[in-house]
Structure 1
Amino acid sequence: MERPDLPAQPVRQPTWFIPHGGGPCFFMEWTRGPADTWHRLQAFLEQIAGGLPARPRAVLVVSGHWETPRVTVNTAAAPPLYFDYYGFPEHTYRLTYPAPGSPTLAAQVATLLGEAGFPCATDGERGLDHGVFIPFKLIFPDADVPVVQMSLREGLDPAEHLAIGAALAPLRDDNVLIVGSGMSYHNLRAFGEAGRDASKVFDDWLGETVGAPTAAQRNARLREWAAAPAARFAHPREEHLLPLMVAAGAAGDDAGRTLFSERVGALQLSAYSFG
């Protein structure tokens, strides 16, 4: 039986790249900097779904916190949570997010990737990590939109992840929202004033790249992201940037735009939408 809150006809969803914050930052008193450090990003995540063309039938999320030898998709019908952060208040390990999974969507993902030459593994046990459940507690707080998580592929090749995204693009026309969850800046050794200038320099480059006149130009720049100004300072390791490649690849020829770009503490962080 169809849910009455979903559109009668499939709609085309955009793709997103969102910053998911620092651990459970939105659900605790932040003591590692000013108390309001994450407030603007929280407010953005709380309202972002209002810009969608319709309520999605499901969300496919690629998080910077899951890497596997082969792309792997979570097939659980009721995925648990995976608390993969450390040293935070005890209550943050009791957070809940009982969103259903979607074995049907997981099977579609595996089929599309296989047809594109990316053999896909499945995992019915791993929980949603904090790159998923923390931002989505704000985006869809009622936990009533099915969520499927997909891994990055070890090696973190940007061209490969653009191609993975391209293989998944047909899902958008079936009312599936594809989301890359990472951070536009992720240097944990310079996660404060030491990263102020570099985060702005690299963020400026990212914004120009996402908004490039054509998808071909955008993707060419993303493939060579490591040569960008301050790139390796902003991302000593690129696992938090690669979800952007999946979102951009799934965008096809759709233009990209910046949805959010502000100082979060000392750091410039951004979110992007395609389509």
Structure 2
Amino acid sequence: MTTVRMPAVYLPHGGGPSFFMTGERKQRYQATEDFLRSIPSLLPAQPAAILIVTAHWEESVPSFTGGLHPELIYDYYGFPPETYALQYPAPGNSELAERAASLLRSAGHASRVDPQYGWDHGVFIPLKVIYPEAHVPVVAMSLQASLDPALHCALGAALAPLRDEGVLIVGSGMSYHNLRDFQAAAPASFAFHDWLDTALSTDRDGRTRHLAQWSSAPGGRASHPREEHLLPLMVASGAGSNQPARRLWRGAVGPSCLGAWAFD
């Protein structure tokens, strides 16, 4: 098992199961898929396990999947039948779930391990691209239902010791997520990503201060009418060190900008 310090990363998980479709929908997300496939080459080593914070799970108390073989949750709608037969048989890791929950409690945050909850598409879709062999153990983490950005930065800071245990912390979301106004709001996404690059280019406290004000940033609320897909970024940033973030990728889905960052 590796003991190399792993980064925390914030990645786009795509639109539903689009990576596993054909035609125009897959083409729209092809650049995102290509980026996700490159993730193993961007890491210092293969992670011992993955803790992935998903935008699609909200709980009043931050929660972790504790099952050894979590079922998949096909929480997307209107897609071809074959996309509801996708599998991702990676093992769970109950010890990591308990360790993560304990770290939160030690930092003064309530937490729980849910041995029954499964993996939604914010978990299994990007990981199926990144590690198709499904050989790295996975634990999923929920958001806290208040969606408070400073709180999620603090949750990430509490989880930071896991990085020295070979755990890759992944924030799984989308840095642009305005599905109701996909075309018209797209120009705002570029302004928001410029702001994110600046906001993330400082130490951890500075990032926390900036991210707490994300909704007043240029293009912020236009890019995220509801912020659940941005909150995994706060956890990843909080888990990082005082080094500035590294932009891993800047691409596009149709007319809209997308980004990914690493926190060393």
What amino acid does structure 2 have at the position aligned with 1:78? H
Pair 1:15-2:5 in alignment: no
**Identity across the alignment (%):** 51
Match of 1:264 among 226, 239, 253: 253
Counterpart-to-counterpart distance in 2, 1:263 and 1:109: 33
| 1:201 aligns with one of 164, 170, 191 | 191
- Cα offset for 1:155? 0.7
Q: Letter of the 2:173 partner, please give it.
A: G
**How far off is 1:31 after superposition?**
4.1
Counterpart for residue 51 of structure 2: 60
User: How far apart are 1:211 and its partner, in Å?
Assistant: 2.0
Query: Is 2:180 aligned against 1:189?
Result: yes
What root-mean-square deviation, in Å, do the aligned CA atoms of Structure 1 and Structure 2 show?
1.1
Amino acid at match of 1:123: D
Are 2:248 and 1:255 equivalent residues in the alignment?
Answer: no
Q: Distance in 2 between matches of 1:201 and 1:256?
A: 18
Q: Equivalences for 1:59-208 in 2 at 5 Å?
A: 59-191=50-182, 193-208=183-198
AA in 1 matched with 2:13: H
Residue 46 (structure 1) aligned with residue 37 (structure 2): yes
Q: Distance in 1 between matches of 2:92 and 2:234?
A: 24
Distance in 1 between the 2:220 and 2:40 partners?
Answer: 30
State the alpha-carbon separation in 2 of the partners of residues 147 and 30 from structure 1: 30
Equivalenced residues, count: 264
CA distance in 2, matches of 1:177, 1:263: 25
Per-residue deviation, 1:255:
2.3
Equivalent position of 1:3 in the other structure: none
Answer yes or no: is the 8 Å Cα contact 1:210–1:258 preserved in 2.
no
Deviations, residues 116-162 of structure 1 (Å, cap 9, x unaligned): 11111221112110001000001111000000001000110001000
Q: Any unmatched runs of 5+ in structure 1?
A: 1-5
Aligned to 1:36, what secondary structure does the other structure show? helix
- Report the AA paired with residue 41 of structure 1: T
* CA deviation after TM superposition for structure 1 residue 215, in Å: 2.5
Q: Secondary structure at the match of 1:189?
A: coil
Q: Which runs of 5+ in 2 are unaligned?
A: none
Q: Which amino acid aligns with 1:136?
A: L
Shift in Å at residue 226 of structure 1? 1.1
Contact 1:58 1:175 in 2 (8 A): yes
CA shift, 1:30, in A, is 4.4
**1:237 maps onto 2:230 in alignment:** no
> What is the CA-CA distance between 1:269 and the residue it aligns to?
0.4
How far 1:68 moved relative to its partner?
0.3
